[in-house]
Amino acid sequence: MLPLWTVEFSQQAANDFDDIIRHTFKNFGQRQAKGYSQLIGHSIQELSESGPSHPLAQDRSELIAGTQSMHIQRQGHRAKHILFFKTVTENQTRKIVILRLLHKSMDFGEHL
């Protein structure tokens, strides 16, 4: 079995996460914010296990070369945010860099 992928957030992705959770807390309460935070964490855990071959990962090279996206899932339903990421594989390092966490209604090309 291959080791897990290391997952890192870019500064923009970390800011996106904070903004999403803050917005969710403000508009939907603590319980929903905690649940959405766990949902994002679960999606990242899945990505660390399967890497870029995750069944929900899609090539998004039309936006930035080598970029992929993955919908955040909730009990078989897609949530409203999408992870955008790149992979780095060199010297036996298997790393996924989360570039952004964007709402599905956003213009991805403008924000990546």
Measured at the CA of 85, the angle between CA 53 and CA 57, to 5 degrees, comes to: 30
Q: What would the pLDDT profile of 23-32 be if each residue is shown by its tens digit?
A: 999 999 999 9
Beta-carbon-side half-sphere exposure of residue 39 (alpha carbons within 13 Å): 24
Residue 41 lies in a domain: yes
Q: Is 55 helix (H, G, I), strand (E, B) or coil?
A: coil
Residue 112 lies in a domain: no
CATH number of 38's domain: 3.30.2310.20
Q: What is the pLDDT of residue 105?
A: 81
Residue 29 lies in a domain: yes
Domain count, the chain: 1
Q: What is the pLDDT of residue 7?
A: 94
Entry pTM? 0.86
Q: Which domain range does residue 41 map to? A: 6-104
How large is the average pLDDT for residues 1-11?
A: 85
Residue 81 lies in a domain: yes
Q: What would the pLDDT profile of 43-72 be if each residue is shown by its tens digit?
A: 999 999 998 999 999 999 999 999 999 999
What is the token pair recorded at 107? 């213009």
Residue 16 lies in a domain: yes
Q: Is 34 helix (H, G, I), strand (E, B) or coil?
A: helix
Q: What would the pLDDT profile of 59-107 be if each residue is shown by its tens digit?
A: 999 999 999 999 997 666 668 899 999 998 877 788 999 999 998 887 7
Q: What is the pLDDT of residue 6?
A: 92
- Residue (of 41, 66, 38) closest to 57 by Cα position: 66
Residue 92 lies in a domain: yes
Q: What is the pLDDT of residue 1?
A: 56
Residue 55 lies in a domain: yes
Residue 111 lies in a domain: no
